[in-house]
Structure 1
Amino acid sequence: MIIALAGQPNSGKSTIFNQVAGYKTVTSNFPGKTVKYTKSKVKMGKEFEVVDLPGTYSLTSSDLAELEARNYILKKEADVVINVIDASILSRSLEFTIQLCELEVPMVICLNMIDEAEKKGISIDTKKLEEVFGVPVVTTIANKGTGVRELFSVALEWKKKPKIPKYSRDIEKVIETLIPKIKEEPKRLSAIKILEDDEFFTSRVDIDYRRYQEIIEREHGRPCDLVISSERHALSMNIFEEIAKVGTPKKSFFDLDKVLMGKMGYPLLAIILYSMFYLVFKVGGIFEGPLLDYFNNLASRIVMENTFLQNITVGIIQGFAGGVGIVLPYLFPLLLGLAFLEDTGYLPRVAFLMDNIFHKIGLHGKALIPFMLGYGCTVPAIMGTRILESERDRYIAGFLSVFVPCSARTAVIFGLAAFYLGPLTAFLLYMTNIIFLGILGFVLSKIYKEESPGLILEIPSLKIPSLKSILLKTWLRIREFIIIAWPILILGSVTLSLLEHYGYAETINNLLSPITILLGLPIAVGTTLIFGILRKELSMLMLMQALGSLEVLSKAQMLTFTVFIMYYIPCLATIAAMISEFRVKRTLLITCTTLVVALILGIFARIIGGIAW
């Protein structure tokens, strides 16, 4: 049995999914976070498959993430659809519920965030709502797990199709006339979408549908799609007024949004980001030094008659040391802080603040979503561009996201620049990166000219995040490093040891010497740059192994190496994601650009470092 979770963005689908499936998808208090569907086997008395679909406001959409949800729903693979609704915005959410009913598949309504609705003074008669749609209604508070088990218990037993709310008489007459002409199921939904001039549905029929649209347009004096959407909106409002009462909302003594989204929002944003990165540096710095000393001492005590085995053993220890001593001490607090900001609902407010600035580089504030994802990992950042409507905006946002320092690059920035050059240096590297992104975005917007649309973004209510949710989200993200990157790190460390053992490392270093000499780095650094294409943090960890100690580098060389790693060729996983989203030609352009930018900025960093130190 397959149960699909469908609903509008930020309604809590992924939170419900994680409650029953274990933590397999990242949730956040940010609309449009899920960009592809996730599925998992679940056993709850019976075994079934649950599918978490991207949030969508309508079954008509040009948004790639929403199309992913629409296409899955239309396949009718799910035996039951759970329509997850944010109960605090019920009137607006019912428009999507009406469309789901027209699919004519068994459905259960989940009124999530019922506590938020009560705070707004909204009282919902669930029995009346059940009568209107002819399906069970279950209330939940997903982030606390309240009602989730009951929801799936009901869904597992429910097999009836919902009642379909009717539009006004003249609209229904045209729909009924059109249905017999349609062969594709679901016929009623197809008829309505054809009247709305949805290209996906009109391309599937070979009829003169325009004359049906003209009947409605003559009757109402407006375009047919506007008439249908207005009817649906009126219908949802009528249902809301029938099943809900709106009282006096609970007032708070202080409106935090006036501060976060007003004139004080910009300095507060700077303070919040600086504080987060400073704390990351402090926490990481506590552990990095002692852990590296321990593993270096351990490696120095390894003495074997067989130098081949000794090199392999030392390589394994150094690979393990890199993960424990350098990456994890910085990666864990960084991802923890990012998860906290996501779950509070602060990031949409940052998008609002940044909208004006983003428009100056030809984008809008919604592009902040892939950028913020990029601070965790560039792969979901590239995929996150799907939430942007324009292909041009998706490409520019993806182009810029590649230059956002991901958690792997952050490990290099904190493990090398912050630890040896000071936290202020690391902060300035982030600030100059933001300035660079602004300049590059401006240039790209002039090359790919197009009017950027205004920002339409739902601002969710601020929430006190669940500690369990934050920790599980952090674990989900850090698990990728432990399962995927750490083995590669250890294997890379052993490989470098073997290259040195057989004398191939020197050959590779000589081939890459034009780059290292140009940057003023030791020639032995060459091999480490290759490993950085696998994973960015590998470059620093291999640097430690190639040179024996990071302290042999001058401060200027440390700065140059850090800057080069921040900007040069993306990791293989990112390149694969770019090929999937933007195809080979554009991926090659982005990749070549990163190398050129890294060389230019690396040389500039060498000059600045030489002056400063």
Structure 2
Amino acid sequence: MTGQSDKKLLLAGNPNVGKSALFTRITGVHAVSSNYPGTTVGFLEGWLRRSDDAWRVIDVPGAYTLNPTNEAEEVAERLVNDGADAIIIVLDATALERNLFLAFQIMERRLPVLIALNMVDEARHKGIEIDPERLEKLLAVPVVPTVAVTGEGISRLLDRLPEASAGREVPSSREDRWAAIGQVIEQVQKVRHRHHTLMDKLEDASVNSFWGLVIGIAVIAASFTAIRFVGEGLIEHLLDPLFHRFWMPVVNAVSNFFGGSGFLHDIVAGRMIDGSIDFEQSFGLLTTGLYVPIVMVLPYVVSFYAMLSFLEDFGYLPRLAVIFDALLHRIGLHGFAIVPSLLGFGCNVPGILATRVLDSARERFIAATLISVAIPCAGLQAMIIGAVGDIGMKWVAVVYGTLFLSWLILGRLLHTLLPGYSPELIVEIPPYRIPSINAMGLKLWMRVRGFFLEAVPLVLVGILLISFMDAAGITAYLSRMLAPVFSGLLGLPAEAAGPILLGILRKDVAVGMLATLGLSPAQLVVATITLSMTFPCIATFIVLWRELGGKRLAASMGIMIVSALTAGVTVRLLLSLNV
């Protein structure tokens, strides 16, 4: 939708003021996600048709100030400074004073603005009364009360787009600006006493040092259980049967076309496993290349992002970040790193992609490396519990305990040794609110589409690369060359080198292969720990390359290898002392 009458409309405001819900109301679900050039910060773009004009609507990243303190605020400043035909400043009516600071900064630019005084329903529930007409006269710009999640006031807001104006001149120095904001608040806002509701008490409890931690652990446990239940359900009852019923005949036809064997057959359809095609182990472009991202990874991506969107829109996610901030700061991260870390337990690929929510390249490197080293994906966890659990759950506890300690120790070392610092967590705690289904649906669609566009092609490229390496004998050569290292350092038989190296293709399959080698319990535990912490699977490897770049990927891989060998040798020695 382009033409000479195209205009640009920005939606600007603090985080958690309802911009995403307003964006969805204005544009529907027809939106695209873009990264601002030179950054990892994304924003949404959509289109609005109003009279004879087509508006390109941009959802500006949430910002508290246009004097940037992080990458998201840098992008917000650039988008505002680039100018627009109109800017809708979205204000949270329950926190008007804080929100007006950013509004005044935008008005200093003398751009045409109008104000959406959002969440006026929540303000009323909190005993906050705001006079929008008086606010409009004081600021000399259109002010429209709205409730974005229900659509209240949206039509009137859009009708007043032509009235957008630069408004009154506002003070430029910080002290004078706050003084002017205070004068505005005195004239437009009244607060009456109200009793705490059950929701208010829950809000207070969820940031309490003790109950907040209890609630946080309960939410994480419940979320993870729901994600596993939905993900495994989609795999077992929907996607896997569909693949075998409708896609397997196509793959078999391709396999027969290529004669059932040969180089091209193995590249396209994959190797025959016990005389037939196996979607998980054949490693062909049409088999493992599609089955892994669509059947084995996508269900966890969908279920996790659905849960993440709910927690975001409900208002709990900032509270979770605050609760875990103290722990994560000790390893060079801030509280929001809990999000990609949790996602990694479903699948490392979306976990790595989710590190984009972090503010600095240093934090993203630490988080991505820790996810790759010490957070087992759902498939790997299933094999750890199945294969290692067969010899006793105490051995499973040893594996998970080692991974957790490695996460803590490695994180602390990286925090100490890498230059730079972890920025403080500065986040506004929003009130709890009932999420908008439409807004959640748009977020889920954009994130799942982003996964398809970014991860699936990378997995296909990785499968192709590994297939060439296997056909050329490189994989077998590396197994033979590294066998003495595994035997000498880790006390493993030479044949264990092959499965551990195979982990770069599929770690869960590799654990299954280790279980067939007749290893002692101690050897199986050491081999599983080493496999879990060393080379990431090919999908994660490719995404790491995409997110970190060649140099940082090489550094991350070096850290993984050293960490895996150190943990493996340490566990071997400790277990030998107890034998």
Q: TM-score range by the shorter chain?
A: 0.7 to 0.9
1:136 aligns with 2:90: no
Q: Which residue among 67, 73, 76 is the counterpart of 2:80?
A: 73
Q: Which residue among 48, 60, 63 is the counterpart of 1:56?
A: 63
User: Which is further off, 566-575 or 96-105?
Assistant: 566-575
1:101 aligns with 2:46: no
Inter-partner Cα distance in structure 2 for 1:481 and 1:406: 22
- CA shift at 1:9, angstroms? 2.2
User: Which is further off, 359-368 or 409-418?
Assistant: 359-368
1:383 aligns with 2:324: no
Q: TM-score, normalised by structure 1?
A: 0.70
Q: Which position in structure 2 is the counterpart of 1:307?
A: 261
Q: Which residue among 460, 467, 477 is the counterpart of 2:447?
A: 477
Q: Which position in structure 2 is the counterpart of 1:592?
A: 558
Contact 2:319 2:429 in 1 (8 A): yes
Inter-partner Cα distance in structure 1 for 2:166 and 2:192: 33
Contact 1:569 1:595 in 2 (8 A): no
Deviations, residues 189-216 of structure 1 (Å, cap 9, x unaligned): xxx4xxxxxxxxxxxxxxxxxxxxxxxx
Deviations, residues 15-39 of structure 1 (Å, cap 9, x unaligned): 333441637589xxxxxxx973525
Q: Which residue among 178, 183, 192 is the counterpart of 1:233?
A: 178
- CA shift at 1:72, angstroms? 2.7
- CA shift at 1:382, angstroms? 4.2
- CA shift at 1:270, angstroms? 2.6
- CA shift at 1:148, angstroms? 3.8
Contact 2:342 2:351 in 1 (8 A): no
Contact 1:374 1:401 in 2 (8 A): no
User: Which is further off, 402-411 or 272-281?
Assistant: 402-411
Inter-partner Cα distance in structure 1 for 2:56 and 2:396: 45
Contact 1:140 1:147 in 2 (8 A): yes
SS of match in other structure, 2:306: helix
1:272 aligns with 2:241: no
Q: Which residue among 203, 220, 232 is the counterpart of 1:257?
A: 203
User: What does 1:382-421 correspond to in 2, within 5 Å?
Assistant: 382-386=355-359, 395-396=362-363, 398-404=365-371, 410-414=377-381, 416-418=383-385
Q: Which residue among 29, 39, 47 is the counterpart of 1:42?
A: 47
User: CA 1:368–1:414 in 2, change beyond 3 Å: closer, same or farther?
Assistant: closer
Contact 1:322 1:541 in 2 (8 A): no
- CA shift at 1:132, angstroms? 1.8
Inter-partner Cα distance in structure 2 for 1:285 and 1:379: 21
Q: State the identity %.
A: 27
User: Which is further off, 140-149 or 45-54?
Assistant: 140-149
Deviations, residues 289-308 of structure 1 (Å, cap 9, x unaligned): 67769968958977734524
- CA shift at 1:498, angstroms? 6.4
Q: How many residue pairs align between the two structures?
A: 524
Contact 2:389 2:396 in 1 (8 A): yes
- CA shift at 1:256, angstroms? 1.0
User: What does 1:215-230 correspond to in 2, within 5 Å?
Assistant: 228-230=173-175
SS of match in other structure, 2:434: coil
Inter-partner Cα distance in structure 2 for 1:609 and 1:466: 53
- CA shift at 1:104, angstroms? 0.7
Inter-partner Cα distance in structure 2 for 1:469 and 1:431: 39
Inter-partner Cα distance in structure 1 for 2:122 and 2:364: 33
- CA shift at 1:10, angstroms? 2.0
User: CA 1:310–1:395 in 2, change beyond 3 Å: closer, same or farther?
Assistant: closer
Deviations, residues 297-347 of structure 1 (Å, cap 9, x unaligned): 958977734524654334323433334543234443333333333332222
Contact 2:20 2:439 in 1 (8 A): no
SS of match in other structure, 1:402: helix
The one-letter amino acid of 2:10's match is: A
SS of match in other structure, 1:404: helix
Inter-partner Cα distance in structure 2 for 1:329 and 1:551: 27
Contact 1:374 1:406 in 2 (8 A): no
- CA shift at 1:140, angstroms? 2.4
The one-letter amino acid of 2:190's match is: K
Inter-partner Cα distance in structure 2 for 1:249 and 1:428: 52
Contact 1:4 1:82 in 2 (8 A): yes
User: CA 1:560–1:147 in 2, change beyond 3 Å: closer, same or farther?
Assistant: farther
- CA shift at 1:106, angstroms? 0.7
The one-letter amino acid of 1:102's match is: E
- CA shift at 1:56, angstroms? 2.2
Q: Which residue among 435, 444, 461 is the counterpart of 1:465?
A: 435
Aligned CA-pair RMSD: 4.5
Q: Which position in structure 1 is the counterpart of 2:169?
A: 164
Q: Which residue among 9, 12, 16 is the counterpart of 2:15?
A: 9
User: Which is further off, 266-275 or 81-90?
Assistant: 266-275
User: What does 1:20-35 correspond to in 2, within 5 Å?
Assistant: 20=27, 22=29
Inter-partner Cα distance in structure 1 for 2:417 and 2:288: 46
Inter-partner Cα distance in structure 2 for 1:575 and 1:495: 14
Contact 1:493 1:542 in 2 (8 A): no
Q: Which position in structure 2 is the counterpart of 1:211?
A: none
- CA shift at 1:233, angstroms? 1.2
Q: Which position in structure 2 is the counterpart of 1:574?
A: 544
1:247 aligns with 2:220: no
User: CA 1:564–1:366 in 2, change beyond 3 Å: closer, same or farther?
Assistant: closer
- CA shift at 1:461, angstroms? 1.1
Inter-partner Cα distance in structure 2 for 1:362 and 1:491: 33
Inter-partner Cα distance in structure 2 for 1:470 and 1:96: 26
Deviations, residues 545-564 of structure 1 (Å, cap 9, x unaligned): xx9x8975776555643343
Contact 1:18 1:25 in 2 (8 A): no
Q: Which position in structure 1 is the counterpart of 2:3?
A: none
User: Which is further off, 127-136 or 422-431?
Assistant: 422-431
- CA shift at 1:116, angstroms? 1.6
Deviations, residues 380-415 of structure 1 (Å, cap 9, x unaligned): 5543332x7xxxxx6256424431369996244345
- CA shift at 1:118, angstroms? 1.6
User: CA 1:56–1:604 in 2, change beyond 3 Å: closer, same or farther?
Assistant: same
The one-letter amino acid of 2:357's match is: G
User: CA 1:506–1:542 in 2, change beyond 3 Å: closer, same or farther?
Assistant: same
Inter-partner Cα distance in structure 2 for 1:327 and 1:401: 18
- CA shift at 1:591, angstroms? 4.0
User: CA 1:485–1:61 in 2, change beyond 3 Å: closer, same or farther?
Assistant: closer
Contact 2:144 2:157 in 1 (8 A): yes
Deviations, residues 502-561 of structure 1 (Å, cap 9, x unaligned): 7665456556666776775645447745xx4xxxxx5348869xx9x8975776555643
